Amino acid sequence: MELKTYQKQVIDDLQLYFEYLQNHKKADKAFNSFWQEKVGFYNPLTGEGMRPYQNTVPNAVHLSIKVPTAGGKTFIACNALKTIFDAMPDTKARAVVWLVPWSNLLDQTVKNLSNPDHPYCQKLNSLFNNRVQVYEKRDLLQGANFNPSSVQEQLSIMVVNFASIRAKNKEDRKFNEQNSNLSSFSDSIDDEIVLEGTEKEALINVIRSLNPILVVDESHNAESDLSVEMLNNLNPSFILDLTATPKQNANIVSLVSAIELKKEHMVKLPVIVYNHQNIEGVIESALHLQNKLETEAKILEENGGKYIRPIVLFQAQPKGKEDNTTFDKLKAQLIAVGIPEEQIKIKTANKDELKNEDLMSAACPVRYIITINALKEGWDCPFAYILASLADKSSEVDVTQILGRVLRQPYVMKHNSTMLNLSYVITASVKFQNTLQNIIKGLQQSGFSEKDYREKDIMPEFVKEEVKQETLDNFFFPEQIEVVEEGVIDVQKIHFNPNEISNSPNIAVFEMEKMAIEDSLKMEIQIANQDNNSNTVQQIYSEVGMKVKQYKMRESVAEQAQEIVLPKFVVEVPQNEFLLMEQGDTQLLDRVNLLKDFKLSDKDIQIPFKSISSDLYKIDTEKTNDGGYKMVSFKIENIVQEKMAEYILAKPKEGQIKDLAHFVVKQIDKLPPIADNEIKKYVNRILENMSAQELIDFNQYKLTYSDSIKEKINQLADIYAEEKFNDWLEIPKIKTEPNWKFEKAIIPTRIGNNIGNSLYVHEGDMNGLEEQFILEISSSSNIAFWHRNLGRGKGFSLNGYKSNHYPDFILVTKTNKVIVVETKGSHLNNPDTAAKLRLGKSWARLSGSNYNYMMVFDENAIGGAYNLEKAISLIKQM
């Protein structure tokens, strides 16, 4: 199971944040800079931009990711753990406290993280070399395979619910009590770590001593003062919140729009909502709709599709304290309609008939589940398609907590049946508009839009008036109320034959099918047009109440700009029936493609380490005054250097090399597609050629040395990639294809001075040379418009052997000639600049005579580039 595109983007956002943290050293400064680059500076008066970092847990980096229900938050978190620990000191114990709000969710999380056949467990094992241990509270209290040695050698995930940490009952108070099973941790628990009111060898203090990573599932349930105190009490170094609906004080590092889930076929949307006249109509339509969906599913399976058995959730409304006799009566009434008993199960907080059922198995007969709140009852199945509310028709139907259970798409794929790609809610309520508001609220609580539903109300107005009058009469004349047994369904009014397989004669099902086809087509058009929608970015950020200042195209040039499509380098991909790749299909060229056969084994190891003279710094954890820890950067004093030297000298050379190689490989991290093993062998070659004194120097300055090795590897890779690129040009294996269009609106970090003939109302800011250049060009009679190209994924990049070269300007003439310009100060005459120039020239040559690439220097231009005056003269003649 690999990350979806949007899931990978979440991990990339997290990785990018750590780059900011490395530069700024403090969590708040890193967070604020991270968002300033994305959406500009925060304006408290207008609410534009991301509001500043909220330091609710002072000694930890605290971030939140927003992913809608069914978006795979847990799988994202499993991948994120590797990213987080890679950013931590190498000596830090890989301890994780995974917090969940409910005990049933705890059981589900433990099961999925522990099961070797489950994708979550498989991913963790692949990321952490099969050295992963998942603990429940009882395992921790018993010290079962939980000791200082084990936590240093593995990834330890401790799954606990909020209540255990809050310790409000006798069982949970064991967290804070002396525990002889944990005596092996005694030496690692400093007195200042011990939480006030607890005993030293208590589990809470063992956890505090580990300075763990916290993963907070459904984190919107952990926003109260008591919950924040709970987080602080665990003494974390890092907190990752997982939620579909982050609260106001969440530090959102990445957010996923609902439409991304639709594009990846993760969810069954839109939701079709149908309001009946009575409860019997709800049941009849639910039964016929299930029959219709299952018939379509069987046809799909016969034609090579996946097995699907659509399930109906009958939502019984609790009357005060839950009474299981009510659910048993409902089950009996469904059996009386003709439903086989083995197809009906009850799942409530007090009665669990799903305990031994695998709902995804073809051997499972279950098609109908009687429930109240599937979210808190702790179960989930993508075969759930229909939510049928059996509330009294005078009730306002509350579906907010259960709606998310019917949204998950089976097998995460689009099925060749429109109706099997949507979900359904059937009700009978005179307060239908209130019910719709609860559906909207339920969608929003699941991270979706209030527009992701379609509805039809067939309850006649006179029935609604009768019910309202009946309610008034009951209030004023209670003695006249006719006593009717609760929950009675008139089965004679329900017309359904479970053995009849046909195109359902039920009118409601016919109408829902018609709605499904129409609205599914609308949604597909919406998704297809998403990339061309100037409001897309604003819609994404508005989901968390954030305003983003966008600058639109000037009307006078918008039409011309929207017709322009800039080419990018592509390569042909092999034909592959499984991946639906046909002969002639192409994909964007990536540096990774060029480095596929790159090997470090035959590359030189000559690196000028003797020129290293910078001070030694390291990222580590430092104790704070209140006994906590924080991530800091500090200079290592000479006395510490001497101790480190003594430590290194005490080891044989093989041990020194092993320790240093491990550190360097981790510090270098990933250099796709170069395998870690290749990097490790290369580092070992370097270290084996060093003397004892050089190894001591390396150890003292290992971050700087590591950076030098990483730079050397990148240089070698750059040389190889460019050689391969040039070979592929000759074959020719590389070509250019139209790919990139101007956005209808942009979000620069900072806006520059207003200069005429710009494409957008405001352009991004510029340095002195850039502004000097564009002032001269903007008024030229042949220039239709100019654009200050944005970086970091916002603008146009030249792909190839350099990792995304973003030129400074895109100029368009009145005859539609495109001139891409990169400006450089004379001090930037280096190999990287020369490589970018060669790449730009190759792009222009392959793209055709309508495209040009120019590199412009203030003075002392390198070969193939131009000085400012010459460049301006040439552009004015184009």
Lowest mean pLDDT among 146-155, 163-172, 269-278: 163-172
How far is it, in rounded angstroms, from Cα 39 to Cα 48? 8
More confident: 311 or 627: 311
d(CA 441, CA 400): 6
Out of 718, 750, 774, a domain closes at 718
CB burial of 180-208 (b: ≥16 within 10 Å; e: otherwise) equals eebeebeeebeeebbbeebebbbbbbbbb
Clarify whether residues 710 and 729 are in a common domain: no
Residues 318 and 462 placed together within one structural domain of the fold: yes
Q: Which amino acid is at 383?
A: F
- Report yes or no on 220 lying in a domain: no
455/286: higher pLDDT: 286
Give the count of beta carbons closer than 10 Å to the beta carbon of residue 121. Answer: 18
CA distance 39 to 251: 15
What whole-number distance in Å separates Cα of residue 342 and Cα of residue 471? Answer: 38
Same structural domain, 687 and 777 = no
Is 242:425 a contact under the CB 8 Å cutoff? no
702 and 593 within one domain? no
Going by their DSSP bridges, the two strands 155-161 and 368-371 should be labelled as unpaired
The torsion defined by the Cα of 223, 224, 225 and 228, in degrees rounded to 10, comes to -30
- The reported pLDDT for the residue numbered 43 is 85
Task: Kindly tell me if the per-residue pLDDT of 473 is higher than 50.
Answer: no
How much of the chain, in percent, has pLDDT values that exceed 70?
Answer: 79
Q: Taking 70 as the threshold, does the pLDDT of residue 89 lie above it?
A: yes
Q: Verify that 739 and 707 share a domain, yes or no.
A: no
Q: Is the pLDDT of residue 542 over 70?
A: no
The answer, yes or no, to whether residue 450 has pLDDT greater than 70, is no
Write down the pLDDT at residue 669. 67
731 or 491, which is more confident: 731
Distance CA 34, CA 42 (A): 12
667: which 2 tokens? 């510090």
How high is the pLDDT of residue 98? 95
Q: What secondary structure does DSSP assign to 585-648, as a single string?
A: -EEE--HHHHTTT--STTS-----GGG--SPPEEEEEEE-TTS-EEEEEEEPPHHHHHHHHHHH
> Is pLDDT above 70 for 439?
no
How large is the average pLDDT for residues 330-341?
Answer: 88
Q: Are residues 386 and 429 in the same domain?
A: yes
Count the alpha carbons within 13 Å of 78 in the hemisphere toward its beta carbon: 25
- Given 169, 188, 210, the domain boundary residue is 210
**Using 50, 70 and 90 to split pLDDT, how confident is the model at 452?**
low
pLDDT score, position 14:
93
Instruction: Report helix, strand or coil for 400.
Output: coil
C-alpha–C-alpha distance, residues 510 and 516, integer Å: 10
Q: Is 391 helix (H, G, I), strand (E, B) or coil?
A: coil
Mean pLDDT, the chain, rounded, equals 81
- Does residue 284 sit in the same domain as residue 188? no
Q: Where are the beta strands (DSSP E) in 289-383?
A: 311-315, 344-347, 368-371
C-beta separation of 190 from 216 below 8 A: no
Beta bridge partners of 389: 315
CATH number of the domain bearing residue 497: 3.40.50.300
User: What is the predicted pLDDT for the residue at 804?
Assistant: 77
Q: Which residues contact 289 (CB under 8 A, 6 or more apart)?
A: 312, 386, 424, 426, 504, 506, 508, 509, 512
Instruction: Identify the pLDDT of residue 560.
Output: 96
The per-residue DSSP string of 655-708 comes to HHHHHHHHHHHHHH--BTTB-HHHHHHHHHHHHHTS-HHHHHHHHHTHHHHHHH
The H or E element containing residue 10 is helix 5-24
Q: Is 579 exposed, middle or buried (0-12, 13-18, 19+ CB in 10 A)?
A: exposed
Rounded average pLDDT over 514-519: 81
pLDDT exceeds cutoff 60 at 143 = yes
Per-residue pLDDT band for 441 (boundaries 50, 70, 90) equals low
| Residue 186 to residue 202: CA distance in whole angstroms | 10
- Same domain assignment for residues 714 and 730: no
Evaluate whether 741 touches 796 at the Cβ level (below 8 Å).
no
Q: Which of 20-24, 348-352, 646-650, 833-837 has the lowest mean pLDDT?
A: 646-650
Of 568, 516, 603, nearest to 741 (Cα)? 568
The tens digit of pLDDT for each residue in 58-78 reads 889 999 998 887 788 999 999
Chain centroid offset of residue 553 CA:
30
Contacts of 585 (CB under 8 A, 6+ apart): 572, 573, 575
The 10s digit of each residue's pLDDT in 800-846 is 998 779 999 999 999 999 999 999 987 777 888 999 999 999 999 99
Do residues 167 and 301 both lie within one domain? no
Decide if 713 contacts 671 (C-beta within 8 A).
yes
Three-point CA angle 280, 467, 452, nearest 5°: 65
Q: How many residues make up the chain in this entry?
A: 878
Q: What is the pLDDT of residue 294?
A: 92
Reported as a pLDDT band with limits 50, 70 and 90, residue 44 is confident
Angle at 399 between CA 394 and CA 401, to 5 degrees: 140
For residue 57, give the DSSP letter: S
Question: How many helices and strands in the chain, by DSSP H and E?
Answer: 28, 26
CB atoms within 10 A of CB 602: 5
Q: Are residues 855 and 746 in the same domain?
A: yes
What's the pLDDT at 486?
46
Nearest to 657 by CA among 684, 617, 630: 684
Q: In degrees rounded to 5, what are phi and psi of residue 801?
A: -80, -15
How buried is residue 441: exposed, middle or buried, by Cβ count under 10 Å (0-12/13-18/19+)?
middle
Q: What is the pLDDT of residue 788?
A: 97
Both 756 and 874 in one domain: the answer is yes
Range 543-571 average pLDDT: 89
In a domain, 423, yes or no: yes
Q: Say whether both 352 and 276 belong to one domain.
A: yes
Alpha-carbon distances of 863 from 105, 824, 836, 842, 845, rounded to whole Å: 64, 13, 12, 15, 17
Q: Residue 317 pLDDT more than 80?
A: no
Strand spans (E) along 15-154: 61-66, 95-100, 132-135
Q: Find the domain containing 645 and state its range.
A: 633-718
- Measure CA of the first residue to CA of the last residue in the chain; give whole Å: 52
Strand partners, 347: 352, 371
Alpha carbons 797 and 808: distance in angstroms, whole number: 10
Choice between 707 and 823, residue whose per-residue pLDDT is larger? 823
Q: What would you measure as the largest C-alpha separation in the chain, in angstroms?
A: 101
Render pLDDT for 646-675 as a digit per residue (tens, 0 to 9): 555 566 878 888 888 888 887 776 677 888
pLDDT higher than 50, residue 620: no
Of the pLDDT bands very low, low, confident and very high (cuts 50, 70, 90), residue 706 is: confident
Stated pTM of the model: 0.74
Which among 694, 718, 742 is the end of a domain?
Answer: 718
Task: Give tens-digit pLDDT for 481-513.
Answer: 443 444 567 777 787 877 765 555 678 888 888
Q: Measured between alpha carbons, how far is 204 from 211 in angstroms, rounded to an integer? A: 11
Q: How does pLDDT run across 207-225, given as a tens digit for each residue?
A: 999 999 999 988 777 666 6
Whether 321 shows a pLDDT value over 60: the answer reads no
- Could you report the per-residue pLDDT of 769-781, keeping only the tens digit for each? 999 999 999 989 9
183 within domain boundaries: yes
Number of domains in the chain: 4
Answer with the residue of higher pLDDT: 278 or 156: 156
Unique residue bearing structure tokens 């609710």: 56
User: By C-alpha distance, which of 588, 561, 591, 560 is closest to 572?
Assistant: 588
Comparing 15-24, 369-378, 705-714, which segment has the lowest mean pLDDT? 369-378
Provide the pLDDT for residue 547: 79
| Buried-state track 27-48, b at ≥16 Cβ within 10 A, e below 16 | beebbbbbbbbbbbebeeeeeb
With respect to residue 13, please indicate whether it lies within any of the assigned structural domains.
no
Structural domain contains residue 24: no
Which residue shows structure tokens 């510090």? 667
Taking residues 230-259, report their average pLDDT. Answer: 87
- Helix (H/G/I), strand (E/B), else coil: 145: coil
Percent of the chain with pLDDT strictly greater than 90: 35
C-alpha distances in Å from residue 239, one per residue of 65, 69, 77, 149? 11, 20, 11, 24
pLDDT tens readout for residues 120-140: 999 999 999 899 999 998 999
Distance CA 852, CA 814 (A): 15
